[in-house]
């Protein structure tokens, strides 16, 4: 999943971005409110982590503009992460449309728990475990298991497979996968998705009707389903 981290403190931004990437999230960063506002106007994110005291545009103004736009992007979950932790600030932020509010200083474990809860709410309707044959994805631990054993994946392989399993049984366009796997600053083209699909397929390769299979639907995208559903021999 791709999230936007808006934080102007350079060291904190780098630390948070690394922690979130270690949690198998694709992270884009903005260090001022104007850039964040521009990104939210043109890009789709599963979640925004938003500081309030920002150069060029205050975080509350960024939030106000996001909610006022209408459409699907206006519903993007927003977690305010700020040193402005007084009661009046919290009430104002929540009343303006924030989904959660965490004051600095904070514990990383609490931030990660809140992020996971908001992501489950926004994309999975509180589904705790996604299943496709012998493959399962636990949205709380954000870990995959396959045939009852942990499945080792690189961060981008994880992003590909998470996007597919949360839409299991539905075709996912290559463009959607690209948006979930790569950030705007990555030097990659659309065809890079083919490489990661190939790598994930190799890790899913096992005998049996319960194996999870990624099918290429030419001109449409990719489909994750149990081998039994494909009609292919086990």
The 10s digit of each residue's pLDDT in 68-80 is: 988 888 999 999 9
Which letter, b or e, does each residue of 186-206 get, where b requires 16 or more Cβ atoms within 10 Å of its Cβ? eeeeeebbeebbeebeebbee
Mean pLDDT along residues 76-95: 90
Tokens of 141: 């631990």
Res. 63: pLDDT tops 90: yes
State the Cα–Cα distance between residues 158 and 151, nearest whole angstrom.
Answer: 10
Range list of H helices, the chain? 10-22, 33-42, 59-68, 87-95, 108-123, 155-165, 174-181, 192-204, 227-230
Res. 125: pLDDT tops 60: no
Residues forming a β-bridge with 6: 30, 50
Res. 185: pLDDT tops 80: no
In a 3-state reduction of DSSP, which class is residue 136?
A: strand
Q: Where residue 123 falls among pLDDT bands split at 50, 70, 90?
A: low
Res. 16: pLDDT tops 90: yes
Res. 188: pLDDT tops 70: yes
Q: Which domains are delineated in the chain?
A: 2-123 (3.40.50.2300), 129-230 (1.10.10.10)
State the Cα–Cα distance between residues 201 and 51, nearest whole angstrom.
Answer: 39
Tokens of 134: 């012998």
Q: Exposed (0-12), middle (13-18) or buried (19+): which is 61, by Cβ within 10 Å?
A: middle
Res. 152: pLDDT tops 90: yes
Tokens of 19: 């922690």
State the Cα–Cα distance between residues 198 and 1, nearest whole angstrom.
Answer: 20
The predicted model scores a pTM of: 0.74
């Amino acid at each position: 999943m791709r999230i936007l981290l808006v934080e102007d403190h350079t060291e904190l931004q780098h630390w948070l971005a690394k922690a979130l990437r270690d949690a198998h999230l694709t992270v884009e960063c903005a260090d001022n409110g104007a850039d964040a506002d521009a990104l939210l106007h043109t890009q789709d994110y599963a979640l925004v982590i938003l500081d309030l005291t920002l150069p060029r545009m205050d975080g509350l103004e960024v939030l106000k503009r996001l909610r006022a736009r209408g459409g699907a992007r206006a519903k993007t979950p927003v977690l305010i992460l700020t040193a402005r932790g007084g009661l009046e600030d919290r009430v104002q932020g929540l009343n303006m449309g924030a989904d959660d509010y965490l004051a600095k200083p904070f514990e990383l474990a609490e931030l990660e728990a809140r992020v996971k809860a908001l992501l489950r709410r926004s994309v999975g309707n509180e589904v705790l475990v996604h299943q496709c044959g012998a493959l399962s994805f636990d949205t709380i631990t954000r870990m995959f298991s396959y045939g009852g054993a942990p499945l080792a994946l690189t961060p981008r392989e994880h992003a590909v497979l998470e996007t597919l399993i949360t839409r299991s049984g539905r075709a996912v366009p290559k463009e959607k996968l690209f948006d979930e796997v790569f950030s705007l600053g990555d030097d990659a083209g659309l065809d890079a998705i083919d490489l990661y699909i190939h790598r994930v397929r190799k890790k899913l390769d096992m005998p049996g009707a319960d194996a999870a299979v990624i099918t290429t639907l030419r001109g449409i995208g990719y489909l994750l389903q149990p081998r039994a559903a494909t009609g292919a021999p086990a």
